[in-house]
Amino acid sequence: MEGLSLDLVVLQLFTGLALGAIYVLLALGMSLLFGMLTVVNFAHGAFYMLGAYVGIMLLGVGFNFWLCLLFVPLVVGSVGLLCERFLIRRLYGRGIDYPLLLTFGLSYIMVECVRIVFGTTGLQFDTPDALVGATDIGIGYFPTYRLFVIAVTFVVLGLLWLFLERTPYGLIIRAGARDPQIVRILGIDVARVWLVVFGIGTGLAALAGLLAAPLQGASPEMGNSILAEAFVVTVVGGMGSLVGAVIAGLLVGVVVAMTSLLAPEMAQVSIFALMAVVLLIRPQGFFGRAGLMS
């Protein structure tokens, strides 16, 4: 192969991790929503896209990128809260089909609204000045911004871990993700927990979108293709499992990176082939509960 070396393979691993970091953030939210609310969120890609555009909007009114990192998840998470409160809440207990159809419709609406406001062409999103360029990571230069994406993801994972392990809400959410019945039995105000979960899930998707925007710009369709990939990651990790989402996200990122190095034309199919193989060997994914939703 032309230009292939060990250093390149290691660099590619890092690239895979950066790619995987975005998947992880998306899949975490998706897995939370599925585990807690049994909502298969077809609008997850749209929330991701919204994250990028809200970032552009906030930059436009004078925010800097660092503030965006904080405010974009808050703004989009609030949109998520509204959707849960006024639309999705009415569908709980009606099986997975209805939220699925509703969020599918919702994604159409969100994408079209963004087209109306921001146009169809897609917009550029400049890398923040402090993160432009490449950093020597020992085996070669690697774009600083991508290292930053990996770092942010790990920080978010840490915060999420603290939240889930150290706060009463977290305890309820963890219990609920394992067995939604328990939360109901314990007589907790489930409605509020669900609301919070929806906010966190969509906020994470928005953060992923914001982080991806300097890499690829923003376009109304950016959520469509990544939605399928996020599904793959969630399912491979095991739906409802947060650890699974993290491991599968990074794994899928690395697999895609490696196939695009060795057999680029297979890069797109590799992700689905991986999912098919995993599910045929272990039908519930890495960490999923067997028989879930069956």
Partner 1 sequence: MLPPNFVATCKRHRVVLSIAFLIVFPLLMPFKAIAVNILIYGLFALGFNLMFGTLGLLSFGHAALFGAGAYACGIAIVHFGAPWWAGILGGTLGGMAIAALIGALAIRTRGIYFAMVTLALSQCVYFLAYQATAWTGGENGLRGVELSRIAAFGHSINFVDPLTRYYVVAFFVALALFILSRILASPFGAVLEAVRENEARARACGYDVRATRFMAFVISGGFCGLAGALQALHLSIVPIETLYYQTSGLVVMMALLGGMGTFFGPFVGAGVFLLLENLVSLWTVHWQLFVGAAFVACVLFFPRGIWGTLLMGRAK
Partner 2 sequence: MSHAMTAQISRRTLLAASSVLAMPAIVRAQDSTIKIGFPVPLTGPYGTEAKDQVACAQIAIAEFNEAGGLGGRKAELLVRDDKLDPGEAATRTLELIENDRVSFIAGSLSASVQLAINNVAKQRGILFNSISQSDQIVALPDWSKTTFHEAMTPYLTAGAVGRYAFKNFGKKVVFLRADYAYGNEMIDGFKAAGAPMGIEVLADLRHPLGTTDYSTLLPRIQSLKPDILVLANFGRDQQISIKQATDFGLKKTTKIVAPILLYTSRLAAGAQAFEGVIGGTSYYWGIEANTPSAKAFNDKYRKANENRVPSDYGALGYAGVRSILAGVTRAGSTDTAKVVAAMEGLKYDSYKGAQEIRSCDHQSVQSVFIIESKSKDMANQYDVFNVLATDAANAENLRSCKDEGHA
Residues that bind partner 1 (CB under 8 A): 34, 40, 87, 90-91, 94, 96-98, 100-102, 104-113, 115-116, 228, 231-232, 235, 239, 265, 268-269, 272-273, 275-276, 279-280, 283-285, 288, 291-294
Indicate the SS3 state at residue 131: helix
Alpha-carbon span 226 to 49, nearest angstrom: 10
Alpha helices in 62-130 (DSSP H): 65-86, 97-118
Residue number with CB closer to partner 2 (12 or 38) = 12
Residue number with CB closer to partner 2 (242 or 257) = 257
Contact partner, 221, from partner 1, partner 2, none, Cβ < 5-8 Å per class: partner 2
Alpha-carbon span 37 to 180, nearest angstrom: 8
Size of the site for partner 2 (CB under 8 A): 46
The reply on whether position 158 binds partner 2 by CB under 8 A is no
Contact partner, 70, from partner 2, partner 1, none, Cβ < 5-8 Å per class: none
Residue closest to 282 by CA, chosen among 252, 250, 237? 237
User: Would you tell me the crossing angle of helices 190-216 and 44-60 to the nearest 10 degrees?
Assistant: 60
Strands 134-136 and 141-143: antiparallel
Alpha-carbon span 272 to 274, nearest angstrom: 5
Indicate the SS3 state at residue 278: helix
Alpha-carbon span 256 to 266, nearest angstrom: 9
Provide the β-strand partners of residue 123: 218
Residue number with CB closer to partner 2 (118 or 169) = 118
8 Å CB contact between 194 and 89: yes
Instruction: State the minimum distance, in angstroms, from the CB of residue 265 to partner 2.
Output: 5
Instruction: State the minimum distance, in angstroms, from the CB of residue 276 to partner 1.
Output: 4
Contact partner, 163, from partner 1, partner 2, none, Cβ < 5-8 Å per class: none
The reply on whether position 20 binds partner 2 by CB under 8 A is no
Instruction: State the minimum distance, in angstroms, from the CB of residue 129 to partner 2.
Output: 12
Residue closest to 230 by CA, chosen among 217, 255, 248, 206? 248
Alpha-carbon span 253 to 259, nearest angstrom: 10
Instruction: State the minimum distance, in angstroms, from the CB of residue 3 to partner 2.
Output: 5
Alpha-carbon span 139 to 45, nearest angstrom: 35
The reply on whether position 128 binds partner 2 by CB under 8 A is no
239: tokens are 């739906």
* Footprint on residues 167-226 left by partner 2 (CB under 8 A): 212, 215-217, 219-222, 225-226
Instruction: State the minimum distance, in angstroms, from the CB of residue 225 to partner 2.
Output: 6
Residues contributing to the site for partner 2 (CB under 8 A):
2-5, 8, 11-12, 15-16, 18-19, 115, 119-124, 126-127, 132-134, 140-141, 143, 145-146, 212, 215-217, 219-222, 225-226, 256-257, 260-261, 264-265, 267-268
